[in-house]
Structure 1
Amino acid sequence: MLRKLVIGVAVIATLVAGVGTARLVLPWTDPTRSVVKQLTFLRAEIESGADRTAQKQFPEGYFFLNVLYGLSWVQVGVDDPARSADATAEVRWALDRLDSADGTAPFDRSLKPEYGVFYAGWTNWLRGGLIALGQSTAAERDAFTSKSVAIATAFRTANTPYLAAYPGQAWPVDSVVAIASLRQYDALVAPRFGQIARNWVTTVKTKLDPETGLLPHQVVPQVSGARGSSQAMIQRFLVEVDPAFARAQYEIFKDKLVTGLGVREYPKGRGGQGDVDSGPLVFGVSLSATVVAMGAARVHHDPLADRLSRTGELVGLPFTGLTTKRYLFGAVPIGDAFLAWSTSARPLVATDQPELGGSGWWRLPWLVVLWLPVLILWSVLRFRHRGRRRKRAH
């Protein structure tokens, strides 16, 4: 009975190792189709109230689930023009939800720009994505213009490069997204905000975290050093603002925060606790930062993206059906939204980032983890079988 049990476990371990090896080494087939399946799952979840549920779990849960759904469709539609009509319809649907009372509820309308730089920056980036799909209306282009002017005016009249997301609270990452949306306007509509973006970069370079040389995590009400959860997002958008500055920052980011396990929340050599921004930390690594970093690596043409993506396919318990795909059994839809956005990541403005080199040796530890238990189990069975044969021979 024990032998049959061990054989059963060994067979299952062999199958798991085989599937895992395939996910680590075989060429990717059609990532766009995979993302569309994720988005099909997410659309159904949002319609069932997953965004309102997420809002109870995260400060911007409703907002992020909808904006990332829309942005993922932008990236799918830009990459595959045959899907641009579907993508346009889905982006409009997401924008309507963001413009609703539920979408604006957490934010203060009196801030400049309206509802704060977090809300204004992300929604403007999504409006720009709608323009990029090539099927926008005159009213939608006018809205992109008016929202961009409002953001530019807020930066022009502020005495800081980091605008408030909430009253008395400011995170640099939010201003990066907003400035990126102005660069998107210049690329898609007409050159208009280049000087504002250049002035912003010049000022930011004088306000870096002295410990790491990266943008700080928070600046109001207190200044806190660079952290992985915001840095991964900064690296995702900064390339759209100033590619040269972004590449320099990205190299520091990798040196200070990226490890073999993923993206640390705090710089190497320094510890800290997880919070609502980072989520739970595993050996100092933030899962949310790691997922976002996958998209940042893609826009920097860094093989790190492939490593993080394949690792996610290995440990994220993906389930793919005929029309849908989900991770962790679909238990955390906002996590699926971040994965879809990062998996389909592409620059929408930047075009001249050189590719980075990389090695495939990162796979070796994972292959050992997959196959060592298999070898042990089959070796135990073999030795037990030999022992029985010797007893019978005597």
Structure 2
Amino acid sequence: MELLIKIVKRIFWGICLVLSILVICINIQLHSDNFNKSETEKDILKQLNYLKYELNENNLGNKMQAIFPEGYLFSNALYGLAWCELGISDTSKAVKTIALREAINAYQSINSDEAKSVFNPSMTPQYGIFYLGWNNYLLSKILLLNPDFKNNDKYKKIFIEQCYVITDELKKNKSPFLESYPTQSWPADMCVAMASIRNHDKLFYPKYDTIISDWVAKVKTKLDPKTKLIPHKVNPDSGEAIEGTRGSSISLILRFLSEIDTSFANEQYQLYKENFISTTFGLPSINEYPNGNSGNGDIDSGPVLFGVGFAGTIVSIGTLSVFGDCEQADKQYKTVNAFGFCTKTQNSKKYLLGQLPITDAFIAWSRSSGLNYRPDEKFNYSILWPIKFHLISLFTLIIIWSFYYWKNIYKKIKWSQ
């Protein structure tokens, strides 16, 4: 019996030690990665090196497809988009060349039969607006990165045709949100598609300006009645909200809406700040449900802990940046970076010990999205910004070890009396 008690005490001591190390590491990591813009680009490059290896050598797309409904497409599309954003931001010809090559490879991957196999080819538009939207948006970013690369005419032709398909179907549809899957519509997917339409007008001439304006006007009539924000899920026929606004989707929606209509995006962003931007234990976070509401996590949001949605929080790094809240975006990144337990080598960087690389893809894209909006120099906010979390962590450690040594503490208190 005495031996069993010793073993239990050893196990409990080990648990306390591991928890303490994790808490200390998180607190230290909150003050790391104090990068200027150039250093941020190099750090993102390390993330992309890791993702490239996983995609090419470890079958990342198929592994993520086994976990998420759109895992293959997301893994490749986000990888390609992160390269595009990095290439657009970086002045180095070498980086731009690599970015173009990798983005085209990613585009070819999402056009493979393997990528299309999970989508319905009989839909209108074919494969649904989720697939076509991300496909066309990646293609638009490739052309914005370099509109004059070799064989660009083939890609321009595809892009122009797909823009026509999207807008033509939109004209026929009563709802401003085309179907992602049969009888199912998510506004976030439509926003991706419309951002690609806006990029058409940046690349060529303002052909779709009226269609975009009409679309925005329609969307304004289909807002979530509670938050006045674009809803999470809608009726595919009427466009009316089925599920109200959620942090995971509105963080993504705003990232694309900023490219579609600046004025409407700014209005929505202010409401987003009121309803979703928050702090948890003193650290910045994005609530999955509007203030005053609660709910569970799902495949869209990822885990929801203390009301915080993981997907929305990660995507917000880019969203906050494009709306000018770059310091807040940096703090949000530092928080994600700390809790993601990143590991680095000289040439690569990964999160969560490489167990869920699609998370790395979202982080890389979100960070690269903000490159053209952040200042060149390092941020200069107070080192005490996470002080509340530090104090909570200290109190937690005291509680943990007090519980372990409670007998010794009790004896000392009794002896002192």
**TM over 0.5, yes or no?**
yes
2:155 to 140, 146, 149: 140
Measure the CA separation in 2 of the matches of 1:328 and 1:32.
Answer: 21
Q: Is the 8 A contact 1:20 1:370 kept in 2?
A: no
Cα distance 1:89–1:56, how it changes in 2: closer, same or farther (>3 A)? same
- Which residue number corresponds to residue 366 of structure 2? 342
Which residue among 35, 60, 77 is the counterpart of 2:44?
Answer: 35
Read off the aligned partner of 2:142 and give its amino acid letter: L
The one-letter amino acid paired with 1:23 is S
Shift in CA distance, 232/18, structure 1 to aligned 2, threshold 3 Å: closer
Q: Which residue matches 1:281?
A: 304
Equivalence map 1:172-321=2 (5 Å): 172-220=187-235, 223-261=242-280, 262-302=285-325, 303-321=327-345
2:274 and 2:390 mapped to 1: Cα distance? 25
Asked if the contact 1:217–1:225 (Cα under 8 Å) also holds between the matched residues in 2, the reply is yes
Match of 2:137 in 1: 125
Structural RMSD (CA): 3.2
Alignment of 1:95-114 (within 5 A): 95-114=107-126
298-307 or 121-130: bigger deviation: 298-307
Instruction: Mark the CA change 1:14 to 1:311 in structure 2 (over 3 Å): closer, same or farther.
Output: closer
**Per-residue deviation, 1:146:** 1.1
Q: Secondary structure at the match of 2:320?
A: helix
Q: CA deviation at 1:56?
A: 1.2
Quick one: which amino acid aligns to residue 147 of structure 1? Q
SS state of the match for residue 22, structure 1?
Answer: coil
1:360 CA drift (Å)? 7.8
Contact 2:77 2:135 in 1 (8 A): yes
In 1, the alpha carbon distance for the partners of 2:210 and 2:98 equals 35
Partner-residue secondary structure (3-state), 2:165:
helix
Unaligned residue ranges in structure 2 (runs of 5+): 1-12, 375-380, 401-407, 409-417
Whether the 8 Å contact between 1:74 and 1:87 is mirrored in structure 2 is yes
Displacement of 1:104 after TM fit? 0.8
Deviation of the 1:23 alpha carbon: 1.9
- SS in structure 2 opposite 1:323? coil
Distance 1:80 1:342 in 2: 16
For the pair 1:330 / 2:354, whether they are aligned, the reply is yes
Superimposed CA distance per residue, residues 250-308 of structure 1 (whole angstroms, 9 cap, x where no aligned partner):
11112111210311111111111211111121011111110011111111111321121
Find the aligned partners of 2:209 and 2:243 in 1 and give their Cα distance. Answer: 29
User: Shift in Å at residue 43 of structure 1?
Assistant: 1.1
User: Residue 54 of structure 1: CA displacement?
Assistant: 0.8
Aligned-pair identity in percent equals 35
SS at match of 2:100: helix
The Cα of 1:229 is off from its aligned counterpart by: 1.1
Task: Select 1:76's aligned residue among 80, 86, 90.
Answer: 86
1:359, distance to aligned residue in structure 2 (A) = 8.6
* Amino acid aligned to 2:66: K
Cα deviation for residue 367 of structure 1 reads 3.4
Q: 1:250 to 1:102 in 2, by over 3 A?
A: same
In 1, Cα distance between the equivalents of 2:367 and 2:214? 32
CA offset at residue 247 of structure 1?
A: 0.9
Q: 1:331 to 1:146 in 2, by over 3 A?
A: same
TM-score normalized by structure 1?
0.86
Query: d(CA) in 2 for partners of 1:233 and 1:278?
Result: 11
SS of match in other structure, 1:23: coil
Count of matched residue positions in the alignment of Structure 1 and Structure 2:
373
